[in-house]
């Protein structure tokens, strides 16, 4: 894998002198006031949009209205897209879909990239690199007026290390234009945005490909043998198709049915490069003699899965040699089998779900992280197409402070060094406003684009630009929560209670104090609203004792109590609960955790406080 930042090659040498034959070393901004933004005649939709984005952003930073044209002027020009000007032969055939090159000379600027997204991403890279523009949130772009009169001539080339990138927060999912500006290439499908990376994130699939509701009654043998019974007829929580069972992967009819499903999917969607053949989201894998024998021989529960996936990949290759079969390497299938290797058209998506959220994956003192790194290394020896599914939230408690911000950078650098080709970073995708989600999404998206950036510098950058004078106490809160979790030896994964992350009354009160100070320091109504939204995590921490009393988190069900909640807990927490739910409503937070809605949690609190229907929280 090439390093993400590519130094200028021979192709780029001399471009400054080629621009209208001049050799000066600076481009005067004043000379650009009438410069056209020149598009090539064959510009695709995303390049036209790139010209429009350049026009908008240039107006913000330089205060000049530039026209878009297909014809160059006699003076300075801005060339957007491959072949925009014969005078600037910027090579793009080696840039893939998203690589970019930027050239600045005394008489013009050229931005070109691979198709379909490289030129558009080049425009964003240009304004970030040369003008300090920062796309902080969907409604806050920091675009400072230029404090200089000229740009230094030079060239810049960049190719992202990860071909697919998804910071899967609702803040990204619900705002296409913002997702494009953050160079998340898994959201905006429209041609003007360059579409999405065609490779799909591999996910749970057996519940669709061989559903037990369709086959189970007549063929229970199609489903996993667990505790002496075939799990075809499941009820309760396990009745959810994805949670209920796994197929028997040594049954030839199961192989035939799933293969037919995969081939049918390819026929319906011929443009997709990969199809997922993956386990359901549970541990009910088959223990029948045939399956168990393979797993025991290979010393891994991934053995039956990989043999099954290889067999489907072989059938697919006969008709569709350009397609890949992807599979999740997840939970019980993460350990590589002893001898079975993935076939060349098999794609692997490793998941970090067991790993510590609090410590980096490379921490040698966290056994579960060490085991993951060993598995990643071994799978990397066996496959050239490794993808990652990793996690960036607390699924048990979306709103609680989550002390993992310091780990995003080292984890993504590990993946880059391991030649990983794509990252799905799962956040709180079904609600906005999870714990510091705007900051978390910003840091993640920037590092997915360029993992060589500093995570700590990105945190400071966001805090200073988004919260202004209110930033220092918020930074103090972040440091407190992270330092405390490390000091207490917390190593919990992405399913945590407050105690799992070291959050107690002392931390909650310090968090409240930090945000109270930040509100006092905010210098505008706009900044106060940003601080107030961020403070939701502080009020959530302050009511953790109530939630522990109300809800049995591991079993995802309310606790049953014969006695009322202690009066001291009510007195201490009720004012904070009232503020918490008011802020959630104000800022559109709809989910308490991955499954519980805000209104449901509010009802639980009202019952715990024994409030009448007309009594305010």
pTM of the model: 0.94
In the block, tokens 């780029």 appear at 12
Residues in the chain: 617
Residue matched to tokens 């995590």 = 537
65 vs 33: CA distance, rounded Å:
7
CA gap 550, 581 in Å, rounded:
16
pLDDT exceeds 90 at position 4: no
Contacts of 516 (CB under 8 A, 6+ apart): none
pLDDT mean over 290-314: 98
Cβ contact 286:248 at 8 Å: yes
Query: Do 321 and 288 meet the contact criterion of CB atoms below 8 Å apart?
Result: no
CB contact at 8 A, 427 and 441: yes
What integer pLDDT is reported at residue 26 of this predicted model?
Answer: 93
The tens digit of pLDDT for each residue in 362-414 reads 999 999 999 999 999 999 999 999 999 999 999 999 999 999 999 999 999 99
Please report the pLDDT score of residue 539 as a whole number.
98
d(CA 506, CA 579): 19
All residues at 6 or more sequence positions from 596 whose CB lies less than 8 Å from its CB, including other chains: 551
What HEC string does 40-96 produce? CCCCCHHHHHHHHHHHHHHHHHHCCCCCEECCCCCCCEEEECCCCCCCCCCCCCCCC
**Are 170 and 137 spatial neighbours (Cβ–Cβ below 8 Å)?**
no
pLDDT of res. 412: 98
Q: Work out the percent of the chain whose per-residue pLDDT is above 90.
A: 88
Residue 14's pLDDT is 39
- Residue 3 has what pLDDT? 44
Residue-wise pLDDT tens digits, 578-616: 999 999 999 999 999 999 999 999 999 999 999 999 999
Mean pLDDT lowest for which of 190-204, 500-514, 550-564, 575-589?
550-564
C-alpha–C-alpha distance, residues 333 and 511, integer Å: 40
Strand order from edge to edge, sheet including 274-276:
164-168, 422-426, 386-391, 346-351, 324-329, 274-276
Query: Which value, in Å, is the radius of gyration of the alpha carbons in the chain?
Result: 27
- The sign of the dihedral angle between the CA atoms of 452, 454, 455, 461 is negative
Residue 455, sorted as left (phi over 0), alpha (psi -120 to 50) or beta, turns out to be alpha
Q: CA 49: distance to chain centroid?
A: 24
- Please give the DSSP secondary-structure letter assigned to residue 366: -
Closest by Cα among 381, 260, 242, 386 to 326: 386
Which pLDDT belongs to residue 66?
97
Is there a contact between 140 and 56 (Cβ–Cβ < 8 Å)? no
Residue 127 is encoded by which pair of tokens? 């304004």
Q: Please name which of 124, 168, 198, 189 lies closest in space to residue 445, comparing C-alpha atoms.
A: 168
Give the CB-side neighbour count of residue 299, counting CA atoms within 13 A.
Answer: 3
Look at 154 and 435; give whichever has higher pLDDT. 435
Confidence of residue 16 (pLDDT cuts 50, 70, 90): very low
Question: Quick check: 10 pLDDT over 50?
Answer: no
The CATH number of domain 5-159, selected from 3.30.379.10, 3.40.50.620, 3.40.50.1860, 3.20.20.10: 3.30.379.10
Residues contacting 324, CB < 8 A, separation 6+: 273, 274, 275, 313, 345, 346, 347, 385
Per-residue model confidence (pLDDT) at position 7:
35
Question: Quick one: three-class SS letters along 396-421?
Answer: CCCCCCCCCHHHHHHHHHHHHHCCCC
Q: What average pLDDT does the segment 6-19 reach?
A: 38
> Rounded to whole angstroms, how far apart are CA atoms 8 and 94?
13
Q: Which of 85-89, 227-231, 448-452 has the lowest mean pLDDT?
A: 85-89
Q: From CA 196, how far away is CA 217, in angstroms rounded? A: 40
Determine phi and psi for 185, rounding to 5 degrees. -105, 35
Q: Where are the domains of the chain?
A: 5-159, 198-346, 467-608
- What's the mean pLDDT in 67-94? 82
Average pLDDT over residues 77-91: 75
Q: In the structure, what pLDDT confidence band is assigned to residue 240 with cuts at 50, 70 and 90?
A: confident
- Residue 25 banded pLDDT, cuts 50, 70, 90: confident
Q: How confident is the model at residue 239 (pLDDT cuts 50, 70, 90)?
A: low
Look over the chain and give the mean of its residue pLDDT values, rounded to a whole number.
93
């Amino acid at each position: 894998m090439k390093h993400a930042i590519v130094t200028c090659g021979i192709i780029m040498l001399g471009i400054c002198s080629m621009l209208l034959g001049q050799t000066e070393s600076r481009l005067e901004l004043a000379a650009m006031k009438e410069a056209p933004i020149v598009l090539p005649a064959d510009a695709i939709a995303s390049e036209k949009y790139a010209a429009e984005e350049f026009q908008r952003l240039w107006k913000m930073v330089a205060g000049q209205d530039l026209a878009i044209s297909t014809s160059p002027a006699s003076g300075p020009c801005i060339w957007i897209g491959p072949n925009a000007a014969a005078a600037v032969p910027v090579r793009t055939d080696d840039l893939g879909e998203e690589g970019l090159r930027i050239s600045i000379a005394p008489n013009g600027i050229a931005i070109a990239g691979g198709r379909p997204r490289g030129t558009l991403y080049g425009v964003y890279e240009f304004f970030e690199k040369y003008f300090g523009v920062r796309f902080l949130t969907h409604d806050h772009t920091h675009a400072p007026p230029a404090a200089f009169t000229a740009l230094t001539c030079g060239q810049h080339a960049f190719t992202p290390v990860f071909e697919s990138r998804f910071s899967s927060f609702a803040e990204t999912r619900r705002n296409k234009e913002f997702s494009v500006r953050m160079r998340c290439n898994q959201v905006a499908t429209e041609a003007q945005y360059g579409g999405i990376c065609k490779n799909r994130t591999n996910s749970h699939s057996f519940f669709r490909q061989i559903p037990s509701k369709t086959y189970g009654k007549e063929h229970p043998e199609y489903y996993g043998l667990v505790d002496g019974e075939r799990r075809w007829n499941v009820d309760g929580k396990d009745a959810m198709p994805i949670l209920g069972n796994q197929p028997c992967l040594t049954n030839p009819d199961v192989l035939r049915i799933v293969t037919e499903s995969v081939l049918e999917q390819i026929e319906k969607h011929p443009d997709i490069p990969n199809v997922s053949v993956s386990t359901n989201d549970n541990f009910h894998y088959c223990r029948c003699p045939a399956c168990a024998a393979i797993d025991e021989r290979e010393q891994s529960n991934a053995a039956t899965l990989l043999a099954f996936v290889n067999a489907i990949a072989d059938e697919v290759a006969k008709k569709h040699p350009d397609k890949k079969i992807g599979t999740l390497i997840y939970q019980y299938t993460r350990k590589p089998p002893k001898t079975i290797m993935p076939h060349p058209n098999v794609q692997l998506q490793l998941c970090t779900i067991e790993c510590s959220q609090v410590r980096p994956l490379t921490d040698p003192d966290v056994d579960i992280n060490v085991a993951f790194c060993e598995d990643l290394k071994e799978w990397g020896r066996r496959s050239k197409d490794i993808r990652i599914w990793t996690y960036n939230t607390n699924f048990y408690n979306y709103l609680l402070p989550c002390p993992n911000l310091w780990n995003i950078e080292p984890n993504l650098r590990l993946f880059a060094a391991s030649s990983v080709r794509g990252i799905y970073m799962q956040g709180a995708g079904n609600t906005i406003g999870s714990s510091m989600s705007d900051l978390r999404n910003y840091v993640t998206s920037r590092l997915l684009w360029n993992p060589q950036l500093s995570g700590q510098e990105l945190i400071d950058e966001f805090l200073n630009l988004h919260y202004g004078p209110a930033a220092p106490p918020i930074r103090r809160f972040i440091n407190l929560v992270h330092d405390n979790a490390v000091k207490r030896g917390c190593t919990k994964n992405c399913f945590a209670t407050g105690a799992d992350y070291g959050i107690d009354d002392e931390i909650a009160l310090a968090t409240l104090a930090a945000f109270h100070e930040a509100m006092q320091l905010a210098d505008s109504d706009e900044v106060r609203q940003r601080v107030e939204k961020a403070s939701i995590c502080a009020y959530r921490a302050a009511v953790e004792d109530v939630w522990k009393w109300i809800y049995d988190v591991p079993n995802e069900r309310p606790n049953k109590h014969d006695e009322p909640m202690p009066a001291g807990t009510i007195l201490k927490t009720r004012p904070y609960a009232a503020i918490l739910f008011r802020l959630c409503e104000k800022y559109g937070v709809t989910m308490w955790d991955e499954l519980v809605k805000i209104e449901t949690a509010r009802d639980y609190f009202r019952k715990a406080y024994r409030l009448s229907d007309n009594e305010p929280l």
